[in-house]
Structure 1
């Protein structure tokens, strides 16, 4: 292991040493993760599975797009599903005392 005299180093040298140490730690952790993943993959294969099957990584739960429930009174291209943040045109309609059902599709 290298013997560093930290007190004799400049700020620039210390910052570079800090970056080098962080890079070395990251590389070490990456190697350890890859080794663990390889061991787990081998164990899964021995049992007749893939690691992604066991971890549930092979499936994607995708939601279907929401259906529009409200349409802008003047611009039919603007719609809102009723989920998430209310569009300004919808809020303005409701705040003016009008019924939201007037905009229902």
Structure 2
């Protein structure tokens, strides 16, 4: 399509028509592809809905909140379960020469 021969007005009209035409054609193409997929699945003994259905997996049973294993003796708000990376307050405690046993709950 040679756009160089169109006027500015014609180009603006074309610009307004293009999004609607794209939307219409995409909708047609989606229906066509979906029908092809249904036929493909049916030829193999399945329904497309059956293939696309998500399997329901049982959720992992949560054991609840992990008990606190360590607590700062001077500031009870500083707690740690002993899991994961050591908090900075635990590292500072150990650097001061004190032991983890002093923090046990």
> Normalised by the size of structure 2, how large is the TM-score?
0.48
Greater C-alpha radius of gyration: 2
> Normalised by the size of structure 1, how large is the TM-score?
0.48
